[in-house]
Amino acid sequence: MVFASGIFLYFFLPIFLAVYYLTPRKWKSLLIAVASYIFYGWWRPDFVLLMWFSTVLDYNCGKRIVVGQKLGGTGKPWVALSVIANLGLLAYFKYFNFGIDSLNAILVGFNGPVLSFAQVMLPVGISFYTFQTISYSVDIYKRRAEPVGNLTDFMCYVALFPQLVAGPIVRYNTIAEQLSERTHTVDKFYRGVLAFQAGLVKKLLVADILGEVADAAFAGGGLGFVDSWIGALAYTFQIYFDFSGYSDMAIGLGLMMGFRFPINFDQPYRSISITDFWRRWHVSLSAFLRDYLYVPLGGNRKGGVRTYVNLSLTMLIGGLWHGANWTFIAWGAYQGFWLVFERLTGKKALYSSTPRIVQVAITFALVICGWILFRAETLGHAGQYLSQMFGFSGHDVTGLALRPIHGAAALAAAIVTWGLPTTQGLLLRARAVWVLPLQAAFWLALLHLHFVSHVPFLYFQF
C-alpha cells in the first residue's frame, strides 16, 4: 500500500487511527503490528513471511545476547548470527541477480560457462527493516539499549508501517522507550497531521510533476546543454521532494501514533559542502552507516590514510545499499571522493574560501552531477548524460516537452528548498502563516490525487 493512494488515505488510515485510539494501551503494539502486516502484505502477502523470519530471529538473538552477557560471555555469536542472517537476506534478495550478472559478464569475457539462475524478486523495504533489526542486535550487544520486553513490541518496531518501506531508518535505541511509553496528545496529533500534509503535498504536487521531466530527460536520446541541465535539476528536485515527502508523511503518521521518528532531511540543498550535505541528506542512513560501519571500521582513529579508506568504503557500501547496480557504486564512490577531498583540503578547499552562497551553489552543482550517476540506467548512460551537461553532446536544440505545470512545480520546489523552513521548523512553529497555505496546498494535493493514478515513491526500490 502506498500513502498517496485513495485506499490508504480514505480507508486504511482512518480505520486504523479510530481503532488505535479505542484500543487499550497494552494492545496498541499488537494492533500496530497487525496493521503494518496488512499494509505491507497488501500487494505481496508472501513477503510478510520474510519479515516475520527476520523479526523472530532477531528477537531471539537479542534475548540470547543478554543471557550470554549475564552468564559472563559476550553474546558475540548471536550478534554475528543476527548480522550475518540479515545481511544474507539482503544480499540474496537485493544483490543476487546483480552478482550473477556481473559474474557472467566476467565469465563471458574469459569464454567461460555462463551461470543461469531464476531472477530473485526484491521485497519492498527489505533494505530498511534489515538495517533496523541489525541495529537492534548491535545496540543490545553494545549495551546501548535494553532488549525489548516482548515479541509484540518487537514486531511493532520492525513492522511499524509509517516508516517500514522507505524509512527513516529508526534505530532501536532511539525508539526503545517509545515502544512502551509514549504520549498521545491533540497537539502531537495536530502536528502529525501537518507533517503528513506537507509530505503529501511535496510528493504529489512537486515530485511527481517534475518526475515527468526527469523521466523524459533520462529516457535516452540526445539532449542539448540546457535541456540536460533542466532534466538533471528536475531529477534533483524530484528525488528530494519524493523522499523527504515520504519521510515527512512517515514522521507525521508516527506523531499521530505518539512516536517521534528521526529527522531525515535538514535542507540538504542548502549545504555548503558535500560533508555538510551528508549531515542533512537521509540523515538516518548516514548516521546508521557512521555508527554501524564507519566507526567499527576504525573511523578517524587510525590515522589519516585509514580514515580516508574508511570514509570511501563507507560511501561505497552506502551507494551499493541504494541498489544493485554499478551506477549506485559509482555514485557512492563519487560521494566518497568529495568527502575525502574536503577532508584532505580542509579550509583550503577551493570553494570553502568563497562566499556562503557560492559554496551552496558549488555544492548543489556537485550534488546534481552525483544524481546523474544515481538516476542513469548504466554507467554508459551516465557518461553520455554528463557529456551532454558539459556541452559535448553536439545537440543544441531544445528537446524536452516542458509545460507550464512543470514551471509551476519547479518554482514551488525552489521556494520550498531555499525559502521556507523545514518540516521540523513547521512543526516547531505551526503558525497560521504556514499552516493555512499548507491546508490549501493539501486540498489541492487531494484533488490532484483524485486526478492522477498513484505513482510509487522512488525510495521503495532501495
Partner 1 sequence: MKTTPEAQDGLISIPDSRPGSMGYRLLVAFVLLTSIGLVLGTAIIDVVNPLPKPKLMGAEKVERELQEKEAKWSDGSLARLIEDNYRITSRMRNGLAGPYATFLFRNLREGTKRVYVGTDGWMFMRSRVHMDPEISQLKIVGSSMMHAAISRRFATLGIRHILLPLPRKSSIFNRHLGIGLTSVPELDTQLIAAMEAAGVEAIDLYPSWSAWQGEAVYLRTDSHWSTNGVRIAAEQLATQSGLMIADAERVGEVVHGGRLPQPGGLFRIMNVEAGPGDEKYYETDSVQVLVGGRIPQDAGKEASLVVCGSSFSLFSELRGFLGYYTGKAVTLYPSPGAHPMKSILRMLDDRGEAGLPEILVEELPIHLILMWPPVRSTLGVRSDACKLLTMLKPPVTSTLDISSEAWTDKVSDGVKLTVKRGRYIGKVKPGFLARAGTGCAEVQLDVEVLEGDMQFKVVAGGRHLATQLSPGRQVLTLPIPSLEATSDQVGMALSCLPSTVTSSVIVHSMELVSAIDLSGAHPFEISTIQRAEEHFFVELTPKAPLRMKRHGTILLGLDQHSQEMGEVELTVTASGSGLSQGYQFTSVAPGGKIVFSPNLLIGELIKSVRISWEARAEAGLPGAPAIQSASYYPLAVKRGE
Site for partner 1 in 244-273 (CB under 8 A): 251, 254-255, 260-263, 266-267, 270
Which one of 36-44, 135-143, 235-243, 294-302 is the stretch in contact with partner 1 (CB under 8 A)? Answer: 36-44
Return the residues of window 406-425 that contact partner 1 according to CB under 8 A: 408, 418, 421-425
**DSSP assignment letter at 218:** T
Measured from the CB atom, is 99 or 421 closer to partner 1?
Answer: 421
What x/- string results for residues 44 through 83 when contact with partner 1 is judged by CB under 8 A?
xxx-------------------------------------
Does 360 engage in binding with partner 1 (CB under 8 A)?
A: yes
Closer to partner 1 at the Cβ: 270 or 343?
A: 270
Q: Prior bond to 437 cis, omega within 30?
A: no
> Is residue 118 at the binding interface for partner 1, with CB under 8 A as the rule?
yes
Q: With binding defined as CB under 8 A, does residue 22 bind partner 1?
A: no
Q: Is 322 a catalytic residue?
A: yes
Nearest-angstrom CA–CA distance, 446 and 453: 12
Please say whether the beta carbons of 185 and 193 come within 8 A.
no
Please work out, in degrees rounded to the nearest 5, the angle formed at the alpha carbon of residue 345 by the alpha carbons of 340 and 348: 150
Chain position carrying cell 513477503: 47
State the minimum distance, in angstroms, from the CB of residue 151 to partner 1.
Answer: 25
Q: Which residue is associated with the grid cell 485510539?
A: 21
Residues numbered 132-191 forming contacts with partner 1, rule: CB under 8 A: 174, 183, 185-191
Q: Are 236 and 367 in contact (CB under 8 A)?
A: yes
Active-site option among 282, 322, 406, 448: 322
Which among 59-67, 237-245, 332-340, 398-406 is the span making contact with partner 1, rule CB under 8 A? Answer: 398-406
End-to-end C-alpha distance for the chain, whole angstroms:
16
Angle between helix 432-451 and 186-201 (nearest 10)? 50
Judge whether 363 and 338 are in contact, CB under 8 Å. Answer: no
Q: What does the alpha-carbon distance between residue 176 and residue 135 come to, in Å, rounded to a whole number?
A: 11
292-351: contacts with partner 1 (CB under 8 A): none
Residue 397 found at the interface with partner 1 (CB under 8 A) = yes
Q: How far is the CB of 435 from partner 1 (least distance, A)?
A: 6
C-alpha cell at 415: 521556494
Known catalytic residues are 322
